[in-house]
Amino acid sequence: MSNVQFLSVCGLEQDLLLNSKLYQDLDSRSGKLQQKAFDKINFLLDSLIRPNYVKHKEDYSNYEPIVLNTDILSRVTGKNRKKKEENKQVYYYREYLDELIRLGYIETLNDGRYVSKWQIIKDNEKISKENLTSSDKKPLRSFSEVTSRQYRLTPKAIKKGFSYYTVLDTSLINRWKKEKVDNTKNLVKVDSIAHKIVFNLCDLSFDNKDLKLVSKERQKELKEQGRKEALEFDSHILEGLKSISSKKTFKDNINHPFWYYTNSKEGRTFNYFTNLPSVYRKIAKYRGNRVQVIDMKSALPSLLILNLLNKKAKTRGINADDFELINDLSSGLFYDKIYKHADTYGMDFLSDLYELKKPEFKKLVLSKIFDRKADMSKPKEMDLIFRAEYPMLFNWMQEVKEKEGYKYVSRFAQYLESELFIRRFFKHFKGWSLPVHDSIVVEEGMRDEARLLLARLLYTMFKDLFESLKLSSKELEALTTNFFRYE
């Protein structure tokens, strides 16, 4: 008998039997399939209930929406596949989530709809053409608000109450246990990077006075932008940070659901600190001392371009245009060179986005890098801009998306980022630090040492390229250091 149990909603199975065509269809094919589906649905609900129940117990009014990690969900529930004997599709976790939404057990903060990034572009083009001054323009739609699904339990689910259900599907149990082992096995190895990161997280704290001041300013800004959902979520963040203290034990942290995990494909690490808005990260303290965030300018596109130039330096050598490109990247001009083409292609809204909400402009540009292969028989304006300004990067993206699929580009970029900021940096840096994707957090007094180390590590990653520049050691240090800045 299995000893694995998921926390789920009372009376759920009866509701599925009576009101779910998806569930009834599985029963008509095989009772075994229906039991597997029930276990998977319980796992999905457990992912929403357990983190809230651990934190808030029966104080349901404080239950928070949660961004579910799709990699974990797909690895545990299994991906789409065909049943050979029936030639019918076994449902993927997304179908189960949609069914729970339809039945009224969960809801999303963005009405359960995905909106494509290019639809946002069209909407913003309409906004930019309205006869309004910049100060009167409507808030431009945010990528984070429409592309990141946050799920939460409905009053219906909470009213029914929660109960533990024993899992019977052995394949699901094995995948779930493997996920738990994979996410925690390195945390207890003293010499591992994961162990260092989790212990360093335990040393973080937040001063309530600082939180109050920053939160007041941030919520004022969100209200002015009319971002009600972001405002609600920010309130939950504030309450969560108030409860964090350096007294939290290592064991408490690694046992908390989704508190820390590593993306196996790219090596990125995720925890509550990486997902915080930057204004909150800046006021964190390590043993009572201020911390400093050091980030890389235009990190993901810069790393991709440097990698391509490094390969070119090995075979053909680089030219004056390549050297100019390296200087532009180190000066943080990657996005500016895209922006300067806005007028040429009649993309007026880009100017508004660049001037009013630069982070959203950056997300728009990155979406073009990481989106599907461009159809150059019917090119969009951004495709033409990329081809004109960064032909080497554009041609490589087109080729690799054709061969490996469009997701390869983002995964490879994140792999390079993890190589620099996690695997190499943590191997050499002796002080306290935390990785936050394309940046590193250190004690304020160690910031110069950390920045110089990042510059040297960047040099070693792309050694063929930097050596081919024929610069003096002092000039090379200045060039590589310039890629990094204090936030």
CA 223 to chain CA centroid, Å, is: 24
Q: In sequence order, which residues have a C-beta less than 8 Å from that of residue 123 and are 6 or more positions away?
A: 141
Residue with tokens 């309004």: 132
For residues 268 and 143, the model is more confident at 268
E-strand stretches of 364-466? 433-435, 439-443
**What is the mean pLDDT of the segment spanning 146-162?**
81
365-369 mean pLDDT: 82
pLDDT at 342 over 70: no
Three-state SS for 265? coil
Instruction: Categorize the per-residue pLDDT at 464 as very low, low, confident or very high, splitting at 50, 70 and 90.
Output: very high
Say which residues have a Cβ less than 8 Å from residue 32's Cβ, sequence separation at least 6: none
Q: What is the pLDDT of residues 206-231, one digit of tens each?
A: 888 888 898 888 888 888 878 777 77
Check residue 412 and give its pLDDT. Answer: 92
Q: Is residue 87 classed exposed, middle or buried when 0-12, 13-18 and 19+ CB atoms within 10 A define those classes? A: exposed
Domain boundaries, the chain: 1-162, 296-486
Mean pLDDT of the chain: 79
Residue 130 has pLDDT above 50, yes or no: no
Give the C-alpha distances (Å, rounded to integers) separating 403 from 393, 396, 400, 414. Answer: 15, 11, 5, 19
Distance between CA atoms of residues 26 and 24, nearest Å: 5
pLDDT for 230 equals 74
pTM of this prediction exceeds 0.85: no
Dihedral (Cα; 366, 372, 378, 383), 10-degree rounding: 20
Q: For residue 404, is pLDDT > 70?
A: yes
Radius of gyration of the chain (CA): 24
Q: Select from 394, 381, 388 the least CA-distant residue to 343.
A: 381
Q: What is the mean pLDDT of residues 174-199?
A: 75
Exposure string over 95-128, b if 16+ CB within 10 A, otherwise e: ebbebbbebebbbbbeeeeeeebeebbebbeebb
Cβ(241)–Cβ(206) below 8 Å? yes
Q: How many CB atoms lie within 10 A of CB 369?
A: 19
**pLDDT over 50 at 121, yes or no:** no
pLDDT digits (tens, 9 = 90+) for 88-117: 555 678 888 989 999 999 988 654 443 344
Give the C-alpha separation, 105 to 9, whole Å. Answer: 9
Tokens at residue 223, please? 């209200």
- Nearest residue to 236 (alpha-carbon basis) of 66, 44, 7, 46: 66
Select, from the ranges 258-272, 293-307, 391-405, the one with the highest average predicted confidence (pLDDT). Answer: 293-307
Residue 478 has pLDDT above 80, yes or no: yes
Q: Bigger pLDDT: 112 or 64?
A: 64
Selection from 46, 416, 51, 49 nearest residue 260 by Cα: 51
**Between 244 and 19, where is the model more confident?**
19
- Identity (one letter) of the amino acid at 293? V
- Return contacts of 392-399, CB within 8 angstroms, 24+ apart: 392/305, 392/308, 392/309, 392/312, 393/301, 393/304, 393/305, 393/308, 393/369, 396/304, 396/308, 397/369, 397/373, 398/373, 398/374
| pLDDT average, residue stretch 448-455 | 96
SS3 19: helix
Confirm if 389 and 305 have CB atoms less than 8 A apart: no
Name the residue type at position 47: S
3-state class (DSSP) for residue 270: strand
Residue 305 has pLDDT above 50, yes or no: yes
**Residue 101 amino acid letter:** I
What's the pLDDT score for residue 86? 46
pLDDT at 250: 60
